[in-house]
Amino acid sequence: HKRRHPFRMSALPALLVLVIGGGVAHAQPQQQTDALEAQIEKWVARARELTDGRVGELGIGAGAGIMCGFVGKKVQGVVVNMAILGAVAGAGACYFGWTTPEQLKEKAIQVETWAEEQVRKRTSSWVKRFDQDLDGDVDWEDSKIHMSSVVKRHGALAASFAGGALVGYRIG
């Protein structure tokens, strides 16, 4: 019987929004939002300074979105390729008699258990940090709570980030 972990893989995009969006750790959600807004203002000011005022929230959002989408697509490709190579290597090892399917299954379960332990260790602090509605897990509701006031004040940044992420994923 498996114990339910408060971090669900379906919540990964929400967690990424929180982490990429500033991921500042303070006691109250309002303080997190204020710190995130201060960081966004710094990014916008720095972009305007570097480009002599030609780039604002739209440029920063689109640039960050393209980068995140592109990197996300590349990471996805690496994960899929590694899974395929692992399956081919396992099949080859069985074919040449270096291992049996039972041994391979046992090792795969050991690796899965180890990986799950590592993810639990890494994400337990994230859950405490990003659980905005204090329901014990990180999900879309937490990202909505965290980002709602930021999006209201910086709509161009949020919209251009979303569009940039789609473009970056497409060209990645």
Residue pLDDT, tens place only, 72-91: 999 999 999 999 999 999 99
Residue pLDDT, tens place only, 105-157: 999 899 989 988 988 888 777 777 777 777 777 777 777 776 777 777 878 88
Specify the higher pLDDT residue, 71 or 37: 71
Position 148 scores a pLDDT of: 74
Position 33 scores a pLDDT of: 64
Position 88 scores a pLDDT of: 94
Position 29 scores a pLDDT of: 56
* Burial readout 40-63 (b: 16 or more C-beta within 10 A, e: otherwise): beebbeebbeeeeeebbbebbbbb
Residue pLDDT, tens place only, 19-29: 445 444 444 55
Which residues sit opposite 7 in a β-bridge? 138
- Give the list of residues 6+ apart from residue 8 with CB closer than 8 angstroms, or none: 137, 138, 139
Average pLDDT, the chain: 77
**In which residue are the tokens 């640039």 written?**
63
The confidence band for 31, taking pLDDT boundaries of 50, 70 and 90, is low
Position 32 scores a pLDDT of: 62
Residue 128: count of CB within 10 angstroms of its CB? 13
